[in-house]
Amino acid sequence: MFLEKFSKKILRYLTMSIIASENSLMSEIEQNRILTSQTMISSLKKEEKVAENLFEVEFKVFSQWGEDGIIQYLISRIEIPNKVFIEFGVSDYLESNTRFLLVNNNWSGLVMDGSESNICKIKQMELYWRYTLQAVQAFITVENIACLLKQSNISGDIGILSVDVDGNDYWVWQAISEEIISPRIVIVEYNSIFGKDRALTVPYSADFQRTQAHYSNLYYGASLRALCLLAKEKGYEFVGSNSAGNNAFFVRSDVVGKLNIVTVEQGYVESRIRESRNQQGQLTFLSGNDRFIAIQNLPIVDVETGLTMVLKDCLA
């Protein structure tokens, strides 16, 4: 009995030591990444030339792709009095568009995700007490977004809104009134499989979930043209996409200044991401037109005409 208790104590001690060592190592790696990025940020601030393409300024610290660099470039060119962000769909916040702003630039903000376990993980992170961050568990819909924003006590002229809800992105952004929040920069995920020629989005459904909507995991979101049209309606200019071809960047017209405004044709990037799955949930690594073929018989809304039709008929 004594040996059994002693063994359990030793095992518990070793487990805690390993976890502490891993956390310390991760913290050191993160600090090194931040220090390295600060050199690039200094270069961005000193560079007077306006980037013709956002690819030129990309770098990754906590973002999934090169969004950290693009955001640092944009905030170095735009005056932002209220350094506050809102980001939807952050998972566990290990990769996100706003985490670097939080820890490097000392911004404050609100993050939301549909998973309760993800929000619990965020609240257990060291950054949650070090910085001013709200983490809210919510499945975001057109019907609840206004209420969620009002409950956060964030309103008016803010720095950044980042929308990545893997489905109703177009409809959610459309539902956000400028009277509630008026972000100077908006980042929205687009689905490059829908092409650049038509303004398309998945039909609105309050309970839309990407994997359940179609097993391929490819049927979600909106085309870049649909988001650009919505941006114009809301008073924003399209300034480009990331090189991965999944995030579009918009700047409010009254603060866009000398930033390079681009057309859909100039800013569209076809994604090379191979995240398709089969009916068993296994990755199938479809690329190019094969991704379109996988979802071609699914319904889609043309936001210019308001008509719902089959995807293959829209892009025939």
Q: Give the pLDDT of the chain (316 residues) as one tens digit per residue.
A: 544 555 555 666 555 555 444 554 455 556 666 656 666 666 666 667 788 899 999 999 999 999 999 999 999 999 999 999 999 999 999 999 999 999 999 999 999 999 999 999 999 999 999 999 999 999 999 999 999 999 999 999 999 999 999 999 999 999 999 999 999 999 999 999 999 999 999 999 999 999 999 999 999 999 999 999 999 999 999 999 999 999 999 999 999 999 999 999 999 999 999 999 999 999 999 999 999 999 999 999 999 999 999 999 987 6
Q: Return the exposure string of 53-70: e unless at least 16 CB atoms fall within 10 Å of the residue's CB, then b.
A: ebbbbbbebbbbbbbbbb
Residues 33 and 95 in one domain: no
- What's the rounded Cα separation, in Å, for the pair 161 and 60? 19
pLDDT of residue 11: 60
State both tokens at 274.
Answer: 């191979």
3-state secondary structure of 87: strand
Instruction: Identify whether residues 95 and 239 lie together within a single domain.
Output: yes
Report in angstroms the alpha-carbon separations of 88 from 36, 85, 105, 224.
27, 10, 20, 19
Place of tokens 């257990």: 124
Contact 73, 44 (CB under 8 A): yes
Q: Domain tally for the chain?
A: 2
Domain check: are 173 and 249 in the same one?
yes
**Are 3 and 97 within one domain?**
no
* Cβ–Cβ under 8 Å, residues 218 and 10: no
Question: Is-contact 33 61, C-beta < 8 A?
Answer: yes
One domain, residues 29 and 55: no
What are 135's strand-pairing partners? 111
pLDDT at 178: 93
The strand pairing partners of 133, in sequence order, are: 109
Closest CA to 266 of 237, 300, 233: 237
- 91 and 28, same domain (yes or no): no
The whole-model pTM stands at 0.89
End-to-end CA distance of the chain: 74
Token pair 């941006």 in the structure block, residue: 231
* DSSP type of residue 156: B
- Apex CA 183: angle with CA 177 and CA 185, to 5°? 130
CA-angle at 139, arms to 203 and 147, nearest 5° = 95
Q: What is the pLDDT of residue 174?
A: 98
36 and 125 share one domain: no
Same domain, 122 and 261: yes
Handedness of CA 148, 152, 158, 163 (dihedral sign): negative
Quick one: 177 and 252 in the same domain?
yes
Tell which of 46, 61, 76 closes a domain.
46
Sheet holding 308-310, edge to edge: 200-201, 299-302, 308-310
Could you tell me if 34 and 116 lie in one domain? no
Half-sphere exposure of 131 (CA within 13 A, CB side): 26
Domain at 230, CATH number: 3.40.50.150
Q: Which domain holds residue 204?
A: 51-314
> Which residue shows structure tokens 């640092």?
72
The answer to whether residues 20 and 133 belong to one domain is no
Do 92 and 169 share a domain, yes or no? Answer: yes
pLDDT of residue 167: 95
User: Secondary structure of 211-264 in the HEC alphabet?
Assistant: HHHCCCCCCCCECHHHHHHHHHHHCEEEEEECCCCCEEEEEEHHHCCCCCCCCH
pLDDT computed for residue 125 by the predictor: 94
